[in-house]
Amino acid sequence: MKSENIISLEKLCFGYDERGDVLKNISLDIPKSTITAILGPNGAGKTTLLHTILGLLAVQSGTVKLKGELFSNYSRRELSQMIGLVAQNEYIPYNFTVMEYVLLGRTPYMGLLEMPRENDYEIATNALDTLGLMSLSQRTIMDLSGGEKQRVALARALVSSPRILLLDEPFSSLDFRTARYLRLE
């Protein structure tokens, strides 16, 4: 029985003007319900690949398919509900509390200018509790350590209930004990 691919890339190409081709003829199928690691040295294009899958960078040629459908067939809202990202370094322009920031992961399920509902708070609370962050919920993001910020970013990604979770060096800011805990759970 053939497994459905959650992500399919075919002859994907992308380059920055000043760097030339970063991704050249990348073809890749990732079956659903799997964990896939993209490994390579610094500057090899791992983050660029994730950003093309997310649609943050427009591919120069080739195709990106999610669940067998072309990326372009999905609305931004559908993509936001389907894909979660934990970036390697995330710039957070406002001094949100941890709870406010995690609730941003629920915005794909809200209407324009709609405030989070009780259900959204329950989902955010569960994610914070699961990651051992509930005690930080009222602290501001700027007051957190790098590892705490990384875990909060993971909580924000998880509350959107994504079918696809893209992690760009998710353990880079974590201490050994926390990284080991997250890998085992």
Is residue 147 very low, low, confident or very high in pLDDT (cuts 50, 70, 90)? confident
Of the candidates 25, 33, 38, 26, the one whose C-alpha atom is nearest the C-alpha of residue 6 is 33
Higher pLDDT, 43 or 79: 79
3-state class (DSSP) for residue 93:
coil
pTM of the model: 0.82
Chain mean position to CA 71: 16
Of the candidates 85, 99, 168, the one whose C-alpha atom is nearest the C-alpha of residue 127 is 99
Q: What local confidence, expressed as pLDDT, does residue 184 receive? A: 45
Range in 42-51, 57-66, 86-95, 168-177 the model is least confident about: 168-177
Map tokens 């809202």 to a residue: 77
Mean pLDDT over each residue of the chain, to the nearest integer: 88
Is residue 176 very low, low, confident or very high in pLDDT (cuts 50, 70, 90)? low
Contact (Cβ atoms closer than 8 angstroms) between residue 166 and residue 85:
yes
97 DSSP assignment? B
Does the pLDDT of residue 170 top 90, yes or no? no
CA distance 15 to 22: 5
Rounded to 5 degrees, φ, ψ at 93 are -75, -20
C-alpha distances (whole Å) from 118 to each of 101, 115, 154 are: 16, 10, 21
151 Ramachandran zone, left/alpha/beta (phi>0; psi -120 to 50): alpha
Q: What local confidence, expressed as pLDDT, does residue 99 receive? A: 97
Give the percent of the chain with pLDDT over 70. Answer: 89
Q: What local confidence, expressed as pLDDT, does residue 1 receive? A: 40
Is residue 180 very low, low, confident or very high in pLDDT (cuts 50, 70, 90)? low
Contact (Cβ atoms closer than 8 angstroms) between residue 38 and residue 46:
yes
